[in-house]
Amino acid sequence: MIRQSGLEIDDDTYLSTRCKGMINGHLWRSKPIAFDDASNLAQHLVTACFILIAYLSGMRPGEVLSLKRDCVAHDKSTGRWTVTGVRWKGATDNDGAKAVEGEQRDFPWVVHPIVARAVTVLTRLHPETLLFPVSIRPKPLRGPAAPTNLRPGTALTTSQVGTDIVEFIDWANTYCTENRRPDHIPSDKDGRVSPRRFRRTLAWHIVRQPRGLVAAAIQYGHVSTHITQGYAGTYASGFLDDLALERWLERIENVYELETYLDSGGHVSGPSATELESRTRHAQAKFGGRTMPTVRQAHRLLQDPTLQVFKGRGMHCVFNKATALCAKESENGPSLGECRSACSNIARTDQDIAELRAEINALPEDPLAPEIRNHRIALVKETMVKAIKHHEEAR
């Protein structure tokens, strides 16, 4: 009867729930979701939640994958969201043997509300105890039997979620192409994006940018402020070890770039110009070709005098705590955001001078602004112009 009616018959069955998610003010999908597509989309949603949690919390991949439904808590007095989990490193049972099941952590992660939201999404997506179970597909009512190699109650492995990330990127790029969106995920010259990269990316932003915690706060929407002042800032998290290794890499790369610059005849000016060249030569002779240190070695080597050269905005700080004019609370280096132009630790390369010129061009000119503001801008400009003039005249 239906066939004889002349009405078109669709091969698919669709979910009755309509899409409500928005992207830039538009529904992310205008047509209904086919039943056969629902499982794949749900898996991509799980992967997206993993990326958010791993990227914005500082957790290790295994720590993310072992999270359970009741892991999120909110402290109304402080406004902080926390996530509790299981640790295996150092976990022992009553007999002193390694506890295979791990143990509850003494310290929670302090996380961004987006992480808490991702956890909530996962708890609504499936009924499993683990947030990242090995499968969320419903059992078929008929047809081929489900795979027998999936143990119920087990979590995804790091390698499995790595594959899921690759598939998620492919899906996202296909979606962008079909919907003429410009925000494709570019291919990575270093290969596939592994789950371990997310934690190291947070460490990179804290270490590699001037006033790292603030720079990372800008990049992560104050996520780093939460995690470094909360759980991830404690020794137990191991995150400080990631920071130490990232700082070691940053210092060595800085030495290599400076030596390349000096070998090509690059000019250095400023009160610490001679000391910068001396430290660069000694550091390269001492550490050139050295393999990646252990965490303990990285902590120790970071104190080496030859590595106390830091890149700031429009200058290099050849750090000497005895003569530094910046805030001296830090024992590991200067407060680059508090740099003062009269400090004797300053040295400048051609790149630094180019940065100063760019800053001068970016200075606002507003004749209607308060006089004190214009006076301050004029002083800043005068200081930078003097530094540029000294650099050029000292060649």
- What pLDDT score does 168 carry? 96
- Shared domain for 242 and 192, answered yes or no, is no
The residue type of 60 is R
On whether both 255 and 373 belong to a single domain, the answer is yes
What residue numbers bound the domain in which 224 lies? 22-138+152-229
Do 324 and 339 contact (CB within 8 A), yes or no?
no
159 inside domain: yes
Residue 116 lies in a domain: yes
> Rounded to 10 degrees, what is the CA torsion of 339, 340, 346, 351?
70
Dihedral sign (CA 91, 93, 99, 105): negative
Domain boundary among 172, 199, 229: 229
In a domain, 7, yes or no: no
Q: Let me know if residue 143 belongs to a domain.
A: no
Last residue of a domain, one of 163, 194, 229: 229
Instruction: State whether 177 and 311 are in the same domain.
Output: no
- What's the confidence (pLDDT) of residue 274? 94
Adjacent-strand bridge partners of 347 = 316
pTM of the model: 0.57
Same-domain pairing of 184 and 257 = no
Q: The CATH number of the domain where 202 resides is what?
A: 1.10.443
CA 257 to chain centre: 24
* H or E stretch covering 385: helix 371-393
How far apart are the C-alpha atoms of 305 and 307, rounded to whole Å? 5
Q: 239-263 vs 197-208: helix axis angle to the nearest 10?
A: 60
Number of domains within the chain:
2
On whether both 158 and 267 belong to a single domain, the answer is no
Please indicate, yes or no, whether residues 83 and 168 belong to a single structural domain of this protein: yes
What amino acid is encoded at 335 in this protein? S
Neighbour count for residue 64 (Cβ, 10 Å): 29
Same structural domain for residues 274 and 225?
A: no
Residues 254 and 348 in one domain: yes
Query: In the listed set 205, 229, 253, which residue is the last one of a domain according to the structure?
Result: 229
Give pLDDT < 50 ranges for the chain. 148-152, 210-237
pLDDT in tens, 334-367: 888 788 889 999 999 999 999 999 999 988 888 8
Kindly state whether residues 271 and 362 are assigned to the same domain. Answer: yes
Asked, for residue 12, whether it belongs to a domain, the answer is no
Q: Rounded to 5 degrees, what are φ and ψ at 269?
A: -125, 175
Residues 188 and 45 in one domain: yes
